[in-house]
Amino acid sequence: MNGVRILVIATFFVFVLMTPVVVASGNDSYYIFDNELQVNEGITIETSIHIEVVEVKRIPLERAKFRITSYQRPERMITVFKEDGPQANRYETYSGASIYLDVIGVYSDSVQFRVSGPSNWRVTDYYDVDPEEGGGEVDEAVTVPKLKITRTLDISSVQQGQTAKVTFKIKNDGNGTASEIELDEPTIKGAYREGCPTTLDDIAAGATERVSYDLKIVDVEPGTYELNPTLLNYKSESGTSYSSESSSNVLVIVAEEVLAPELEIKLTIESDDDVIICGERFSVTVRIDNTGNATTGRITVKSHLPDDVRVAGGEIDPVYESIKPGDYEEYEVTMIAYEPGKHVIKMDVLWADEEASASAEFWAERSGFDKYYIYILAAIPIVLILLWLIKRRREYSF
Amino acid sequence: MLNILILGLGQCGNRVLDAVNHEAFGSGGTFAKYYSRQKFPASVKTIAINTAINDLKGLTDTRAKDRFHVPHLHGVGANRALGKKVFDDNKEQIMSEIDKRGSFELIFIITSAAGGSGSSFAPLLVKELKKAYNAQIICIAVLPFREEGSIFLQNTAFCIRELVAESPNGILLVDNQYLKKYAGDIKSAYDKINISVARRVLFLIEALNSEMLMVTDLGDLKTVMNGGIGIGTMGYYEAGKDGTIKSAILGSFKPSGLLFPANVYNEGARAMLIIKGDKKYLDLDLITKTVEELSTDVGQVFKGVLIKKGRPKVLSLFTLNSVPELENLYAAAADAIRFEMDKREQSKKQLDDAFAHIDELEPIY
């Protein structure tokens, strides 16, 4: 039983001792340090964690490089960009507790920054760093830069004449600064790069650079193009050359959109099986669609009818002032075909200097009535004679 | 162009008028009216007037609008007294119907002298027409078959007397009794008489209205009709294959061509001869010579020559100084009246004697 009590009590103490660390890791608002340090000044937190300001730079981005050393941990150089936020620059100690660095302001030779971490941690010392001592220690360390380049395009499809924005995100995942960085960006024939750098500033270990340029599509045929990987050549501080490349990208280039109206004309003959009875009226529907992407100007319709087809009702050659894109005009004409056989109605629609045509065929047949036409013709005089006789008879009937 | 009105009164007058209308269609026959138009030689209007509607319905070639029914049951039953009253009652309508046809220079009234409507209407109509129109009025009076009965003889006697009293321009007699011998049965006799009268009337109208080689006109007709007692008749002759114009003229004076039995050479007062035919047949010298010869017997003879295709046809129109046949008719009529009166008195006396048997007696029940 005593053994169990001892185990429970020991567990409790361990829990109590661990609690501030856990809380501190989840509480970013507790600042262990919030002040300004000169380059080559440092602070000691809880007697074991040393943070020194190695350098500050304001161009192109405000940043500060820190050297952090702690118990049982190798020295680490962290470049903290202003406004990256504390979560982006985390340093974990041997005990598992973490501190977070956040640059507030960068000046010519100093930096204001914050260190947040467990609430019970305190700055235990301020000290100056001997540059020779610090540099000597760096030179003596084995530092290897490792650049990772990611290339993104703001759009995957671009029209001829338009511009795509290409952005490189270059992150140094190594522990040394990359220098003499050369960027070899392939291009597409007929496209031109605007503002694309060929060399980049040094990138410190852990730092991330972002570079953008405009890719202008000038004279490229429409199609799908593969943008070959970007090649980065760089050197470590010791002068060793390295290279890395991005993945390739696919860019779809589409034809330049030309704003122009495009008209289509369609004829519909309302009949059964396209057979018309001679002498009977039938309807023809004419529809004019603007399938283009611009509003037309004045539109004229011109009809071409067979000799024996006549318009019985409606305006067959109307004039429209305009038709908007996607819109249409439709009208109906009543016609009569007088002779049997195949007939073709052709219609032209004219706009600007353009023209579109459509035609419709139909067969005309004589009606059953026409078969008896000759008999009816023969009967008419007989009927007239009969009527005449009846009239005369009535004249003499009293 | 002459404006001529032909009125057919009563059954007889209607039928003669219908024959005139039929003949005006030419040689088209029964069905000519269905496809042809009447070809009157002048502006001729016709009206059939009757109180008997069935008689009007029986007409075949007279237009319905030219049939005027004077409403009185179905005729006046040969009663002239009733007929006169009906005329007086409908005088305005009758004259109005005539007036619708316009004005006329010559009016023919065709009627039977024996019937009811025609014989009673005719004298009164002459009187009214003389008042309304300045036209020559010629009455064509048809005398009955003598065996038709005493009433018809009486009607004829009084009708002719009244007609003469009204002084039309002339009265042309047509005697059914005389013409009967030239036909077979009564029906064909009627038809022949009607057609004969119709053709003569149309011949006369054509002559009066045509440009003639030798002219007769309405004035000549008036003069002729004023001759004698104002009563006359018409003769007709159509030359045969070998006949001459002289024989044709003389033929028209023969009793067989006359509508009324008369001895023209003895009784004739004035005459009109109308000769129609192809020019090759018409020897004017011979015509003139023949007419001169006739004038010595007949008196004044007017002649007219009409050039038309065909063999010579001659129409003669006479007025007479005396009409013996009419005297015979009146004598027969008087006998009939007396006989009728005697018979009626005897019947009345017989009836009175019969009634006398029960005089001063009363029925006992």
> What local confidence, expressed as pLDDT, does residue A252 receive?
92
Give the minimum alpha-carbon distance from B10 to chain A in angstroms, rounded to a whole number: 16
Cα A350 → chain centroid = 38
Please tell me which residue of chain A has the smallest CA distance to B56.
A398
Is residue B107 pLDDT above 70, yes or no? Answer: yes
Whether B64 sits inside 8 A of A393 (CB atoms) is no
- pLDDT score at B215: 76
| Side-chain half-sphere CA neighbours of A246 within 13 A | 24
- Give me the CATH topology for the region A263-366: Immunoglobulin-like (2.60.40)
Q: What is the DSSP letter of B258?
A: B
Q: How far apart are the first and last CA of chain A?
A: 152
State the pairing for strand pair A98-106/A41-45. unpaired
Q: Which residue of B has its CA nearest to A391?
A: B34
| Spans of all domains in chain A | 2-140, 147-254, 263-366
Rounded mean pLDDT, B245-249? 91
Q: Work out the pLDDT band at A141, boundaries 50, 70, 90.
A: low
Q: Find all residues with CB under 8 Å of A65, minimum gap 6, and list them.
A: A53, A54, A55, A56, A57, A77, A78, A79, A80, A204
Taking CB atoms and an 8 Å limit, are A392 and B33 in contact across chains? yes
pLDDT of residue A28: 46
Chain A residues in contact with B61 by the CB 8 A cut-off are: 396
Nearest CA in chain A to B65: A395
Per-residue pLDDT tens digits for B131-149: 999 999 999 999 998 888 8
Instruction: Render pLDDT for B151-208 as a digit per residue (tens, 0 to 9).
Output: 999 999 999 999 999 999 999 999 998 888 777 777 888 889 999 999 999 999 999 9
CB–CB contact A393 B62 (8 Å):
no
Q: B-chain residues within 8 Å CB-CB of A389? A: 34
H or E segment and range at residue B200 = helix B186-209
Q: What is the pLDDT of residue A23?
A: 36
> Which pLDDT tens digit goes with each residue over B68-84?
999 987 888 889 999 99
Q: Using CB atoms, which residue from A388, A389, A398 is nearest to B64?
A: A398
Which of A150, A145, A138 minimizes the C-alpha distance to A201?
A145
Cα–Cα distance, B43 to B21 (Å, whole number):
13
Q: What is the pLDDT of residues B268-322, one digit of tens each?
A: 999 999 999 999 888 899 999 999 988 888 889 999 999 988 899 999 999 999 9
pLDDT at B90: 96
Give the number of other CB atoms < 10 A from CB of residue A315. Answer: 11
- Residue of chain B nearest A396, judged by CA positions: B63
The pLDDT of residue A2 is 47
Minimum mean pLDDT among B46-60, B108-122, B331-345: which range?
A: B331-345
pLDDT score, position B146: 83
CB A102, CB A79: distance < 8 Å: no
User: Who among B33, B34, B56 is closest to A398 (CB)?
Assistant: B56
Assigned CATH topology for domain A2-140: Tick-borne Encephalitis virus Glycoprotein; domain 1 (2.60.98)
Q: What is the mean pLDDT of residues B96-105?
A: 95
3-state secondary structure of B109: strand
- Starting at the edge strand found earlier in the chain, the sheet holding A98-106 runs A31-38, A110-116, A98-106, A90-92
Judged by CB atoms closer than 8 Å, whether chains meet at A396 and B64 is answered as yes
Chain A interface residues (partner B, CB cutoff 8 A):
388-389, 392-398
Lay out the sheet containing A191-194: strands in order across: A147-153, A163-172, A208-217, A191-194
Which segment, A40-49, B25-34, B105-114, B184-193, is predicted with the most confidence on average?
A: B105-114
- Give the one of A392, A397, A398 whose C-beta lies nearest to B34's C-beta: A392
Flag if B33 and A397 touch (Cβ within 8 Å). Answer: no
The dihedrals phi and psi of A392, each to the nearest 5 degrees, come to -65, -40
pLDDT, tens digit (0-9, with 9 covering 90-100), for A205-257: 888 989 999 999 988 899 999 998 999 999 888 888 888 989 999 999 998 88
Cross-strand bridge partners of residue A356: A349
- Closest CA of chain B from A372, distance in Å: 28
- Supply the mean pLDDT for chain B: 92
Calpha distance A77→A65 (Å, rounded): 7
Residues facing A102 on adjacent strands: A114
In the numeric block, which tokens belong to residue B298? 């007949």
Predicted local distance difference test score (pLDDT) of residue A29: 62
Helix residue spans in B6-149 (DSSP H): 10-24, 32-35, 53-57, 80-99, 117-132
Q: What whole-number distance in Å separates Cα of residue A236 and Cα of residue B110? A: 156
Residue type, B146: R
Q: How far apart are CA B62 and CA B44, in angstroms?
A: 13
Task: Give the CA angle between residues A372, A378, A381 to the nearest 5°.
Answer: 135
User: Number of helices and strands (H, E) in chain B?
Assistant: 13, 10
Please tell me if the domain spanning A2-140 has the same topology as the one spanning A147-254: no
Q: What is the mean pLDDT of chain A?
A: 85
Which domains does chain B show, CATH number per domain?
A: 3-209 (3.40.50.1440), 229-320 (3.30.1330.20)
Please indicate whether residue B67 or residue A389 has the higher confidence score (pLDDT).
Answer: B67
Mean pLDDT for A48-71 is 89
Has residue B54 got a pLDDT over 80? yes
Contact state of A392 with B61 under an 8 Å Cβ cutoff: no
Of A388, A394, A398, the CB nearest to B67: A398
In terms of Cβ atoms closer than 10 Å to its own Cβ (0-12, 13-18, 19+), residue A274 is middle
User: Residue A388's closest chain B neighbor by CA?
Assistant: B34
Across the range A333-359, mean pLDDT stands at 93
Chain B's closest residue to A387, CA to CA, is B34
Q: Is A119 helix (H, G, I), strand (E, B) or coil?
A: coil
Report which listed range, A144-158, B31-45, B110-124, is most confident. Answer: B110-124
pLDDT tens figures, A297-319:
999 999 999 999 999 999 999 99
Superfamily grouping for domain A147-254: Immunoglobulins (2.60.40.10)
Work out the pLDDT band at A373, boundaries 50, 70, 90: confident
